[in-house]
Chains A and B, each alone.
Chain A
Amino acid sequence: MILMESITKTYQLGLVNIPILKGINLNIEKGEYVAIMGASGSGKSTLMNIIGCLDRPSNGQYILENRDLTTFSDDELAYIRNQRLGFVFQQFNLLPRATALENVMLPMVYAGIPKKERSDQAQSVLTQVGLADKIRNRPNQLSGGQQQRVAIARALVNNPALILADEPTGALDTQTSHEVMELFAQLNEQEITIIIVTHEHDIAKKAKRTIYVQDGLIVN
């Protein structure tokens, strides 16, 4: 499903080039549940952003579901993000002035799904993550765990093939972390590929495979 070859990423800071990824080779199959671990600054988040088409590699080849994404335009990548990928961020990244329902409907707006269908689908996904009674609440009226579940519902709503979670439990307490991880496990049972970036071993243990990133390279 994911095939990466010699992926590098270099940031330019003034006149200095800072290499973050130094040649990543990676193969992830459909239905896998993978944790990416590494110290902060190791490049694990950058790797995830490239997998999620939020960022482009400086060099190398990235094939997702047999599409060579390194040749795709911005708009084509937007389409991939919308249709094939779902994101869960540490800081939730919900629109603060929109309700839970509106936040979950957002990817469907860009997908061009009619209004009625959007609302039905979003409600059903919110019910699935246990927030049927909170659909009219804004993010500031929800707890951290509830906000993260809204974010997961938003990631799920367009039936993605791959869910990417960057420190999804980083801002949550142990109990809610556990609930969120439970959700990911359930989703993985439905054949959705899941990649979680974390620095907590407890979290990584829930995944079926762990990849360690150190100094911009995958180590074993």
Chain B
Amino acid sequence: MINTVKRIQLKNHRKSYSISTIEILSMALESLWSNKLRTGLTMLGMIIGIASVIGITSIGQGVQKSTEEQIQALGSDVLQVLAGEAKGGNVSQGQGSSSTLTWEDAKAIATEAPAAGIVAGYLQSKQQVVYEGENTLTTVYGTDLNYPEARNTFPTTGRYLNQAELDASQQVVVLGTTVKREIFPADVNPIGEKIRIKGEVYEVIGIMETKGSQGPMDRDDAVYIPLTTMSSRIVGNNSLFGISVNGIYIKYIGQENLAAAQFQITNLLRSRHNIQSPNDDDFRVTNQADILETLTTVVGLLTIMVGSIAGISLVVGGIGIANIMLVSVVERTREIGIRKAVGATNSAILRQFLVEAVVISTVGGVIGIGLGIGIAFGAATLFNFTFIVSSASIILAFGLSSGVGLIAGVIPARNASRLDPIAALRSD
């Protein structure tokens, strides 16, 4: 025998071949199409992973943006002095005790604190307001004439309160749009109509512009009456020092004067209230910039939390994708054996699985991105916040999912493609 082999002139017929990319693509598409359930499920994993990440981060960022916008709309050049708790010795007398701030304090700030611009005192109380059969519980603000400018909110219909009404404690009222909607039929013009607050009749003279909500607070759920009327007819717990107010808004002059304004107001009030030590302050001076900063921090934390949830869902989605790709390749080892038996080279097998994984990742990815944007848009429209699509989240979600999909689809396929055909054929 050995001699026989030696005697044969061995041909140098070594030859291999390679299949064109177009053939591979068409084969991969046929394979995906012929197993729609497997293809669909694999894509579904991809779609859900990507859509949830994009949806969640877009919603998070949209809420953040809206909150910032609303805070900025408030005006960051506003200081607010809030009445603290009146103290007898070291014992807090609690909220609802007579206010430590007065309208006289507000007037003093306006004249004596040079950095203060517009100063508006207000007194508030929750009251039932009634028009014919309809009623609603709302916040009644007793204000002076500076209130619209200090709060940057103006009537769109009718007018705000005037000096004569303030001086004479007249019973006139300006409505927030929520209150108008609650108690007036759509076809009734409220101007000149009479409503009742705490049993007494008030004439509607104006409707404020719509300010929207700030967090859970509906800023249009309010009515405005003269501070003097509020004090004499509704709240009526005046201190010895004049008309009580719950708070004072101060629009200061120029951002650079914030610290000065805060300092002047604090000193002025301490001297007026005869306070020796800062620990005894019966008022608090807060500024919108601080609130803005706090809220921004909160929203930032919210975004981190939302991002973490999205990240977790991305990981879970990725594991799902990896799982189904792995299972599908293992399940197809026999198919790989059949293909090799009829002449598929290792690289033809690998390329087919690669193309299948790319197609699934791309199609699933595009659908997932579309769905994620749709979810973000729907939520933004429904809950009325800014619609933003975070391109970083698209890149991250798509990149990671398709990366996982490719690796999980190709690595086991590569291993299977290297098996001897008979080993692949025998796997079940």
A residues in contact (CB < 8 Å) with B: 3, 5, 25, 27, 49, 52-56, 61, 63, 65-68, 72-76, 78-79, 81-83, 87, 89, 93-95, 97-98, 102, 106-107, 109-112, 154, 158
- B188 CB-CB contact with A under 8 Å: no
The residues of B that contact A65 with a CB separation of less than 8 Å are: 11, 13
Closest to A76 in B: B16
- B340 CB-CB contact with A under 8 Å: yes
Closest to A56 in B: B420
- B178 CB-CB contact with A under 8 Å: no
Bound complex: CA of A63 vs CA of B5, how far in Å? 8
In whole Å, how far is A118's beta carbon from the nearest beta carbon of chain B? 10
The residues of A that contact B423 with a CB separation of less than 8 Å are: 55
Question: Which residue, of A5, A27, A49, A154, has the highest number of chain B Cβ atoms within 10 A?
Answer: A49
Interface pair B1/A5, CB less than 8 Å apart: yes
Question: Which residue, of A53, A68, A78, A87, has the highest number of chain B Cβ atoms within 10 A?
Answer: A78
Interface pair B16/A109, CB less than 8 Å apart: no
In whole Å, how far is A53's beta carbon from the nearest beta carbon of chain B? 8
The residues of B that contact A81 with a CB separation of less than 8 Å are: 340-343, 421
B residues in contact (CB < 8 Å) with A: 1-2, 4-5, 8-11, 13-17, 19-20, 23, 27, 30-31, 34-35, 334-335, 337-348, 418, 420-423, 425
Q: Which of A72, A83, A154 contacts B14 (CB 8 A)?
A: A72
Interface pair A93/B346, CB less than 8 Å apart: no
The residues of A that contact B418 with a CB separation of less than 8 Å are: 74
Bound complex: CA of A78 vs CA of B34, how far in Å? 25
The residues of B that contact A82 with a CB separation of less than 8 Å are: 17, 342-343
Bound complex: CA of A109 vs CA of B348, how far in Å? 11
10 cross-chain CB contacts under 8 A: A25-B1, A55-B420, A63-B5, A74-B345, A78-B16, A79-B345, A87-B342, A93-B425, A95-B338, A106-B338
Q: Which of B4, B15, B30, B34 contacts A3 (CB 8 A)?
A: B4
The residues of A that contact B35 with a CB separation of less than 8 Å are: 97
Interface pair B343/A93, CB less than 8 Å apart: no
Q: Which of B1, B5, B339 contacts A106 (CB 8 A)?
A: B339
Closest to A97 in B: B34
In whole Å, how far is B31's beta carbon from the nearest beta carbon of chain A? 8
Closest to B23 in A: A109
Given contacts A55-B420, A68-B10, are A75 and B346 in contact (CB under 8 A)?
Answer: yes
Interface pair B15/A79, CB less than 8 Å apart: yes
Interface pair A3/B5, CB less than 8 Å apart: yes
Q: Which of B16, B23, B338 contacts A79 (CB 8 A)?
A: B16
Interface pair B345/A78, CB less than 8 Å apart: yes
The residues of A that contact B20 with a CB separation of less than 8 Å are: 112
Interface pair B14/A76, CB less than 8 Å apart: yes
Given A55-B420, A79-B343, 14 additional A-B pairs, CB 8 A: A3-B1, A25-B1, A27-B4, A63-B5, A63-B8, A66-B11, A67-B11, A74-B345, A81-B341, A98-B30, A106-B342, A110-B343, A111-B343, A112-B23
Closest to B425 in A: A93
Interface pair B343/A54, CB less than 8 Å apart: no
The residues of A that contact B2 with a CB separation of less than 8 Å are: 5
Interface pair B10/A67, CB less than 8 Å apart: yes
Interface pair A75/B341, CB less than 8 Å apart: no
Q: Which of B15, B34, B341, B343 contacts A98 (CB 8 A)?
A: B34
The residues of B that contact A27 with a CB separation of less than 8 Å are: 1, 4
Bound complex: CA of A3 vs CA of B10, how far in Å? 12
In whole Å, how far is A9's beta carbon from the nearest beta carbon of chain B? 11
Bound complex: CA of A109 vs CA of B28, how far in Å? 12
Question: Which residue, of A49, A66, A75, has the highest number of chain B Cβ atoms within 10 A?
Answer: A75
The residues of B that contact A102 with a CB separation of less than 8 Å are: 30
Closest to A74 in B: B346
The residues of B that contact A73 with a CB separation of less than 8 Å are: 16
The residues of B that contact A76 with a CB separation of less than 8 Å are: 14-16
The residues of A that contact B348 with a CB separation of less than 8 Å are: 110
Interface pair B341/A87, CB less than 8 Å apart: yes
Interface pair A54/B422, CB less than 8 Å apart: yes
In whole Å, how far is A196's beta carbon from the nearest beta carbon of chain B? 17
In whole Å, how far is A92's beta carbon from the nearest beta carbon of chain B? 10
Interface pair B420/A5, CB less than 8 Å apart: no
Q: Which of B338, B343, B425 contacts A78 (CB 8 A)?
A: B343
Bound complex: CA of A73 vs CA of B345, how far in Å? 10
The residues of A that contact B341 with a CB separation of less than 8 Å are: 52, 54, 81, 87, 93
The residues of B that contact A61 with a CB separation of less than 8 Å are: 5
The residues of B that contact A56 with a CB separation of less than 8 Å are: 420
Q: Which of A55, A66, A95 contacts B422 (CB 8 A)?
A: A55
In whole Å, how far is B79's beta carbon from the nearest beta carbon of chain A? 74
- For the complex of A and B, the 10 pairs showing the least CB-CB separation, nearest first, are A82-B343, A75-B16, A54-B422, A97-B34, A107-B342, A110-B343, A54-B421, A78-B345, A75-B345, A66-B11
